Amino acid sequence: MRWSDTDEVTLVFPGPDAHIRHIEHRSASAHESSLPRTERTGGHRSAGVGGAPSGRPPNPGDIGRRVAAERSRQGLTREEAARRAGMAPEYLAYLEEQPADPTTASLISLADALGTSLVALRGGDVDLPPGRGEALLHPRLRDLDPDECRALLSTHGVGRVAVSTPDGPAVVPVNYEVVDDVVAFRTAPDSVPAAAVGSEVPFEVDHVDEAMSQGWSVLVVGPAREITEPDEVRRLVDHAYTTPWPGGEREMWVAIRPTRITGRRITSAEQ
């Protein structure tokens, strides 16, 4: 944009926290050569004109990582997410790829577009105990059908298995995979989760949105067995997204084949 009264040129980046950059009047060639550069304005860096942030290698901050991870989990392209949030795709690319300090307005728009919360994008809920928030004014609790349960089960990587041990009942978290409708996890032969083998056990996974007082849980019940056939083990290893967080030698695969799968979701009655 060129202002008629001062002949000054302004670049405008649309979005909920739109900002401007003034460029001194100069020749056309000098002006074009200045476009790819970035500079800090209004608390964050502006993305280079036309796409990627100044061609620098990705070095996202924590907020950028959370935004990118949630966008990927929702199956949205940057263009789709930016359109939903009412911001320029170039700015979303910058936010995801470089240390950025977006305004609260930008984060609120992104949280709404991605179906998450401002607190979650900021990481403020990481170390807070869940369930301390106030209940919704008009909550709605509904049962999930088996297909919804399976879909939610496949989005997570940490669940809880309940087992009986010589010292009494125990509930322990495990990293898990879902392969052909079977819940599988790796452990050590002498560990507590290994006690699941040979019994019918419950396995639970959930998600709590503390800021919105919403959430869901899925419960799987079925017999657990050890996987020992080499081809089956190899297939599970090939499908594994992560290694067990506790580390160490955990090469024993345990599979739970669901005989019953149920779930519930809490939302606002208006949803």
Give the pLDDT confidence score for residue 252 in this predicted structure: 92
**Residue owning tokens 């084949």:** 257
| Domain C-terminal end among 122, 155, 180 | 122
- pTM beyond 0.75: the answer is no
Residues in the chain with pLDDT values less than 70: 1-56, 124-133, 210-212, 271
pLDDT digits (tens, 9 = 90+) for 176-194: 999 888 999 999 999 999 9
Are residue 147 and residue 252 in the same domain, yes or no?
A: yes
In a domain, 153, yes or no: yes
Same domain, 143 and 263: yes
| Residue 150 structural domain | 139-268
* The two structure tokens encoding residue 106: 């930008």
Looking at residue 261, what is its pLDDT? Answer: 97
Report CA dihedral (148, 153, 154, 156) to the nearest 10 degrees.
130
CB 95, CB 64: distance < 8 Å: yes
Number of domain units in the chain = 2
Residues 261 and 146 in one domain: yes
User: Any idea what the CATH number is for the domain that residue 86 is in?
Assistant: 1.10.260.40
Residue 3 lies in a domain: no
